[in-house]
Amino acid sequence: MILLQSPSRFLLQILKDRVVSGDKGVDIDCHTVEFDDVRYHIQFSMRNPKVMVLSVALPLAPPEAILHDGLPLGAIDAIKAAYGAVVQILDPPKDCFDVTMKINLTKLPTDEEQRNVVLTRIASVREVVLGAPLKLLLRHLASKTVAPNVDKLVALVHRPNESFFLAPQ
């Protein structure tokens, strides 16, 4: 989305390194914070080196935001649409996180260019989740229908204490 940042460079580098190294690697269990608001917990285990568990904690949403299970409106559907069979959403998410995903690296495309596109999309999880309400509203506006569960004012979280508000008409 236009308002949101580029992919997480740290997350993208870890994904690319793990794909290149294949089965040669070490256990990874690290926490990182990017953009001063989104926290990531990245886990790889040598028992299953082709599976990554990624947990994401989002910034606090304003009281006006429409949430479903702690996530922005349409976030689950946006994750499924963006990642397909490569990502499985784990329910419930890990403690203190809003969403936990199991990423199966064996389901990545074999073509290097397509694989890099998918890895970049995975590293853009912040954009996918936080941009879901805007994408949902724009889709409904384009089809001239009313989005479900939408009030007159919709809050889009950009950064902590920075939200954009839309009034669909």
The single-letter code of the amino acid at 49 is P
CATH of the domain at 147: 3.30.1460
Mean pLDDT in the chain?
Answer: 81
pLDDT value for 7 = 86
Looking at the domain assignment, is residue 47 inside a domain?
yes
Looking at the domain assignment, is residue 3 inside a domain?
no
Tell me how many domains the chain contains: 1
What average pLDDT does the segment 126-138 reach? 81
| Rounded Cα–Cα distance for residues 156 and 71 (Å) | 12
Q: Which of 33, 37, 74 is nearest to 58 (CA)?
A: 37
Looking at the domain assignment, is residue 2 inside a domain?
no
Q: How far is CA 113 from the centre of its chain?
A: 21
Per residue in 80-109, pLDDT (tens digit) is 999 999 999 998 999 889 999 999 999 999
Q: Is 33 exposed, middle or buried (0-12, 13-18, 19+ CB in 10 A)?
A: exposed
Looking at the domain assignment, is residue 44 inside a domain?
yes
Domain enclosing residue 92, as ranges: 9-166
Does 4 have pLDDT greater than 60?
A: no
Q: What's the whole-model pTM score?
A: 0.81
Looking at the domain assignment, is residue 107 inside a domain?
yes
Q: Which of 48, 60, 53 is nearest to 15 (CA)?
A: 53
**Over pLDDT 70: what percentage of the chain?**
75
Looking at the domain assignment, is residue 61 inside a domain?
yes
Q: Which of 16, 8, 18 is nearest to 124 (CA)?
A: 8
Looking at the domain assignment, is residue 1 inside a domain?
no
Looking at the domain assignment, is residue 81 inside a domain?
yes
Does 38 have pLDDT greater than 60?
A: yes
Record the tokens describing residue 81, joined without a space.
Answer: 């649409």
